[in-house]
Structure 1
């Protein structure tokens, strides 16, 4: 029997006790799993980066701000969608949040319906991003099993080169190319050259 899927979670980071309680009371009756933290440091120490999740973070908190928390998550490679909330919103804050990749910047007092809609959107996005990240991780794992020569052949296959051209470029026999091509396609679970090209493109580190 397969283990039950872990539901997506809404992380809330706000130093205001009343705001944390308010968001719990708002979101849990809607069926959302919610975990609250009183500071960015507490969140970083307690959240699960492997879980499908979105983050609702206040801007102004003692210690690390919500904007700085988001920037730290981005630095760590997180793809978690982030909604920034604040009682002291201004244009520079909003611009900074959006440039970092926040999906919204919402001023207090919060419009509950707007927040609910944005959280639903964030969780849908989180599910999509998580699936993509898992696919990329699996591709990179398979790619690491290729030998150096198999990787050379794979790169040329992905570039659209035929076996004879690959043999000429690498200075090896056609039979050797065929063997390495077969092994590379098998290890990568690729069915066509186009499929292999898509995988190699996905596996490239982001700049």
Structure 2
């Protein structure tokens, strides 16, 4: 895995955000973290992110809406959605729209890493 790849995390749950940041750092990725979609969209990280991990349900912009906004603005960043509240309808919509994965919390590190590898393959 390339060490220069930037992974951005968007999750309103601080503990999940910090744990995911720690995992990405341990794997040698550059990492940026945001408490919500609005903050990410306004950030400089938008241009350098090669994989985005976002929560489905957040105040303001949820994960699916964030992805739609990215696509509409020409930023087709490979994205992984994570959720503590799995919903088969949302999962189907997410995967149909082109997201890399829909993972239910808690997910294994191995599962997340394999999805990040897939996202980085798409980002090349």
What is the TM-score when the length of structure 1 is the normalising length? Answer: 0.56
Q: Structure 1 CA distance, aligned partners of 2:85 and 2:44?
A: 26
Equivalent-residue separation in structure 2 for 1:70 and 1:125 (angstroms): 15
2:51 to 39, 50, 54: 54
Q: Is 2:106 the counterpart of 1:106?
A: no
- Tell me how far 1:52 sits from its aligned partner: 5.1
- Whole-Å Cα distance in 2 between the matches of residues 69 and 99 of structure 1? 15
Where does residue 116 of structure 2 map in the other structure? 119
State the 1:24 CA deviation.
1.2
In the alignment, the residues of structure 2 paired with residue 67 and residue 95 of structure 1 have an alpha-carbon distance, to the nearest angstrom, of 11
Gaps of 5+ in 2: none
Higher radius of gyration, 1 or 2: 1
Contact 2:85–2:104 (8 Å) recurs in 1: yes
Question: Residue in 1 aligned with 2:80?
Answer: 83
Within a 5 Å distance, the mapping from 1:24-43 to structure 2 comes to: 24-43=21-40
8 Å Cα contact 2:100-2:118 kept in structure 1:
no
Contact 1:52 1:126 survives alignment (8 Å): no
Instruction: Give the secondary-structure state (helix, strand or coil) at the position aligned to 1:55.
Output: strand
Q: Comparing both structures, which one devotes a greater share of its residues to strand?
A: 2
What corresponds to 1:15 in structure 2? 12
Q: Partners of 1:52 and 1:64 in 2: how far apart?
A: 18
Q: Runs ≥4 in structure 1, deviation > 6 angstroms?
A: none
Structure 1 segment 174-189 matched on structure 2, within 5 A: none
Is residue 7–residue 52 contact of structure 1 (8 Å, CA) maintained in 2?
no
**Greater relative contact order: 1 or 2 (C-alpha under 8 angstroms, separation 6 or more)?**
2
